[in-house]
Amino acid sequence: MTTPRFHGVIPPVVTPRTADGALDLPSLATLIEYLIAGGVHGLFVLGSSGEVAFLTDAERRTVIEEAVRVAAGRIPIVVGLNEMTPPRMLEQLQLVEAAGADAVVATAPFYARPSAAEIEAHFRILSAATTLPVFAYDVPVRVYNKLSVEMLVRLGSEGVIAGVKDSSGDDVAFRRLVLANRAAGSPLVLFTGHEVVADGALLWGADGIVPGLGNVDPRRYVEMYNASQNAEWDRVRDLQEDLCSLFEIVFQAQGVSGEAAGLGAFKTALVRLGIIATNHMSPPVPPLDTTTTDLINAIVDRAGLLVR
């Protein structure tokens, strides 16, 4: 069986910022090198973990160009397209193509509240406008629509989309998608966005993982994926449990937004590891306070990442 080009562990790369709010390109470069050294199979920039909703078009272009430059063809660069309507999505697509990325991960439209038929037409419009592989990004918490299994398999069978990045949190629907895709001859490459039940998704037949926590501990996710390919399921479970313990960093902040608690925790852990310079977020999201930072640092220290 031929391994697809897009497979394995493709972490959604965080976007570092300096203390004064500018993009921190040296930290981004260091993070990318850390991820590549950890054995990841690709990089997903401008996803939710990359704070795409907060970045200007100029910042988005800069992040893509820097990722492409630093990766230098060693692994593919996948870029998130997150826009309200197809015309705005097509403008973002031009930016991605010009920067030299390898594929796009596109959400359904939002704000306009499209029908199921309009969502399908959206993906067809996008696919017809590019030669890049298009992955459908199933993230209903952001766009308020769940992509249907039937539509995804149909679009895959027709060559409209290359795969799916599932961040729905709906494990029943994802397993249905795996089975339906297999019955159709596996036209889609399927990724889960789960950090803590990735073992289950791999057991069901996912082709890879897009874990935000993979910014912090890429090696264990890669080890878990490799173990799954060898059907070493006890090893997969043990690695997943280690990662579940590390994932506790996202539950340490209280009374803040999901972005501050989750992405802020990833950034705080990366500062602890010496990978990025600050845990600053895009405004108006504040960095985590000292008490929370101390709690996160203790979890990171217990995980043994400083000596891995």
- Determine the 3-state secondary structure of 284 from DSSP: coil
267 assigned to active site: no
CA dist list (Å): 259 to 10, 51, 71, 169, 193: 20, 8, 26, 17, 16
Catalytic residue among 34, 111, 144, 165: 165
- Determine the 3-state secondary structure of 294 from DSSP: helix
Structure tokens at 54: 């907060």
- Cα Rg for the chain, rounded, in angstroms? 18
Among 237, 206, 207, 209, which residue's Cα sits nearest to residue 221?
209
Asked if residue 272 lies in contact with residue 292, where contact means CB atoms within 8 angstroms, the answer is no
137 assigned to active site: yes
Residue found under tokens 């399921």: 233
Question: What is the chain's length?
Answer: 308
**Pairwise CA distance, residues 233 & 179, whole Å:** 20
164 is in an annotated binding site: no
Strand order in the sheet with 43-45: 8-9, 208-209, 189-192, 163-166, 134-138, 103-107, 77-81, 43-45
Catalytic residue among 34, 137, 221, 225: 137
Cite the annotated binding site for pyruvate by residue number: 210
Residues known to be catalytic: 137, 165
Cite the annotated binding site by residue number: 210
